Each structure stands twice: as structure tokens, then as C-alpha cells.
Structure 1
Amino acid sequence: MPEELIKKIRSIGNFSDADIAFFIDKLDETVIAKGEHFLSEGQVSRHLGYVVSGLAMHYKVYDGVEIPCDFTSENGWLGYLNSFTNKTPSDMNIKALEETRLLLLSADNLEKVYQVQPRFMLLKDHYTELSFISNTRHTADLTMLTAKQRYYKFMQENPGLINRVPQYYIAAYLGIKPQSLSRIRK
């Protein structure tokens, strides 16, 4: 099991070795090929995934164009909480931009974890807060920063993604035309 996940769990709450072993036992490993979907619009999300290796993109389709909403790489959790929590069809897509190795946690197994050790709600709270903060910052950046400032901020905060995410996705994520991003990069 990935040591980073175990370290993170320990840092969020004072969980015993037995608690962590129980949680880890509820995870199933899978691999998603580049270009395959973890979640497609219209499906109900039934899993969360911890990214062991690889890269995925949350996106919506607008006028036939994929508009990225977020990227998830190693040591991040992948999922769409709106669909997962409410058990409703997703209005979001999540696809692998690289071959992505995941540890899957099903909704049923998450419920079992909460029943046995309710303190695992701390993990949900922690990651939900991080997601909320990230989305709020990104929304503010889109309205308050220039295109150049948004790109430089993205580079500083996500240096490992610059060469892994296609530039047209970075441009769309930052609300910049691809031609403008090319000029900024020069």
C-alpha cells in the first residue's frame, strides 16, 4: 500500500494501526488506460479513487469542447462528490490523461468504514475542505487575475503538471485561448 496515503491518514487523525489496516483492506486496485473514463456524464458515481500513479482530468463538455475543471495526480483523491454523495447522475466527466493506477473505495465500503470507525469522517471533512478551498481560489483567480498571472500561478502551484497536461487543456482550465497561452509561454 502507498506509504503516502497511510502518512496522510495518520496526519489527519490519530488512527490506530488496526483502523488503518481496516480502511486499506476496503480498497481495490485498478488501472485506467490513457483516454478511458473513471466517470462519464450521466453515470452515478459509485467509487472514489486514490491516485497511486498517473493523471486524470475532471471536465465538462460545452459546445462539443472539453473544458477542464480540475486535474488530479499522484496522492490525490479522484471523484465527483455531488454524484457520489447524492447518488445522482453526474454532470461531470473524469478521464485519465495518462495510464492511471488507482485504489478504489466503493460507496458501500465507505459506509462500512464509517460504521466501524466513525472518526474516518475526518478524512472526508479534510478532503472536502481542500476541494472547496481549491475551487474557491480557482474561481477567484479566473475573475481577479490576468491571463499571464493565472498561468504563472498555475506553474508555481502545479510544476509537475506543466509538461504532463496538454497545453490546450491548461489554456481552457485557465480561461485562456490556446494562442494567448502560446504567447504567454514565449
Structure 2
Amino acid sequence: MLDTLIKKIRSLDNFSQNEIDFFVGSLEPFQIAKGEHFLKEGQVCRHLGFIESGLVMYYRVYDGVEIPTDFALEGEWMGYLNSFTNKTSADLSIKALEDTNLLRLSASNFEKIYQLQPRFIKLKDHYTEMSFVSHTRHTADLAMLNAKQRYEKFMKEKKELVNRVPQYYIAAYLGIKPQSLSRLRK
């Protein structure tokens, strides 16, 4: 999976091998067991992680129910940039839905990278933009598409999650009741 990360970095700019080695040397292996949290609401996000294997869910709690706002899986970065960048308390949580192995980048190493290799800001900018676009699309889908359309779009764009995410989380992510999801699936 490290090769995947290096390919993604190189696709953003023509980084030298020394720059890549410096970046990769700043990462540390980390594991999150299924059901454990990478970040809890109220904590400050002090790490970002590149997922080597596993699956995590971003969520907020409303009326005692976990409402997913996003998912991240193999080959994707995870973390909460608002909290990470601004050093503020998170207003959401991130937990593992499967045992998850990742390469973790601390806030202090993140700052060192940008001080010594400012070109790596392109990496942060790219993932910030991708996160913004994804969040904006999901918000628009919830507002403009009916339940069937949201489900069909989910099946088309996130089909790798269908058998990995519990159905009640998929229903909540799509803004529908689990019973409605069952009917749509038939």
C-alpha cells in the first residue's frame, strides 16, 4: 500500500526520491481495532492517517444515533482537517468499522514537512479540495435527490462499501429509514 501512497503523491507533482523518502520517513504505522476511535467528538485531531487496510466512518451523534457523514477505506487519507489545522475540538467522531492499519502523520511532523519541503502543501490542498467537493455533493444529494436516486448513486459511486458497512449506517448516510433501504434493495 506504500506504493499506492507514493504514486498518489507523485501524481500531484514531480517530487524527487529524496522528498518522497523524507515524507514517508515522517509516517508511523498505527492500528485501530474495529469499534475503536481514531478521533472522538471534543478531542483535537492530532494525526492524519493513510489507510493501508480497513474502513473508518466519520459520524455525528443526533438524538443518540450515530449519523455517518462519510467513510474512508484503503488508499485514502483520513482525519479531520478543521480540527487538525486549527487545533480546535472536533465536532464529529471517526471510528473503525473494521480492524484498520494506517500510516499516521502527526501534527508536529506535518509542520516540519511543510517548513522543510513547502511543495508538499500541494498534497494538503489536493485532499482538502477533494473533501470539500465530496461533502458538498453529499449535502446536495440529500437535499435534491429522492431516496431511490440517493441509493442508486451510492451503489454506483461507493459500491465497495455495500458489503462492508452495516445497512443501518448506509441508511442513515442516505437519510432514509433502514426499512426504506430494505425496500429499495429489493
Give the TM-score band, short-chain normalised: over 0.9
Q: Which amino acid is the alignment partner of residue 3 of structure 1?
A: D
Aligned partner of 1:58 in structure 2 is 58
Q: CA RMSD in A?
A: 0.7
Aligned partner of 2:98 in structure 1 is 98
- Secondary structure of 1:114's aligned partner: helix
- Secondary structure of 2:160's aligned partner: coil
Q: Which amino acid is the alignment partner of residue 111 of structure 1?
A: E
- Deviation sequence 1:6-44 (CA, Å, 0-9, x none): 000000011000000000000000110000000001111
1:82 to partner: Cα distance: 1.2
Aligned partner of 2:35 in structure 1 is 35
Whole-angstrom CA distance in 2 between matches of 1:175 and 1:6: 36
For structure 2, the residue ranges without an aligned partner over 5 or more in a row are none
How many residues are paired up? 186
Aligned partner of 2:3 in structure 1 is 3
- Secondary structure of 1:10's aligned partner: helix
Aligned partner of 2:153 in structure 1 is 153
Aligned partner of 2:81 in structure 1 is 81
1:99 to partner: Cα distance: 0.2
Aligned partner of 2:45 in structure 1 is 45
Runs of 4 or more consecutive aligned structure 1 residues displaced over 3 Å after TM superposition:
none
- Deviation sequence 1:50-94 (CA, Å, 0-9, x none): 000000000000110000000000011110111111101111100
The two structures have a TM-score, normalised by structure 1, of: 0.99
1:2 to partner: Cα distance: 1.2
1:140 to partner: Cα distance: 0.7
Aligned partner of 2:15 in structure 1 is 15
- 5 Å matches for 1:93-132? 93-132=93-132
- Secondary structure of 2:124's aligned partner: helix
Whole-angstrom CA distance in 1 between matches of 2:63 and 2:39: 20
Whole-angstrom CA distance in 2 between matches of 1:91 and 1:114: 26
Q: Which amino acid is the alignment partner of residue 26 of structure 2?
A: K
Whole-angstrom CA distance in 1 between matches of 2:96 and 2:42: 18
Whole-angstrom CA distance in 1 between matches of 2:159 and 2:122: 29
- Secondary structure of 2:159's aligned partner: coil
The two structures have a TM-score, normalised by structure 2, of: 0.99
Whole-angstrom CA distance in 1 between matches of 2:131 and 2:180: 28
Aligned partner of 1:141 in structure 2 is 141
Whole-angstrom CA distance in 2 between matches of 1:36 and 1:74: 17
For structure 1, the residue ranges without an aligned partner over 5 or more in a row are none
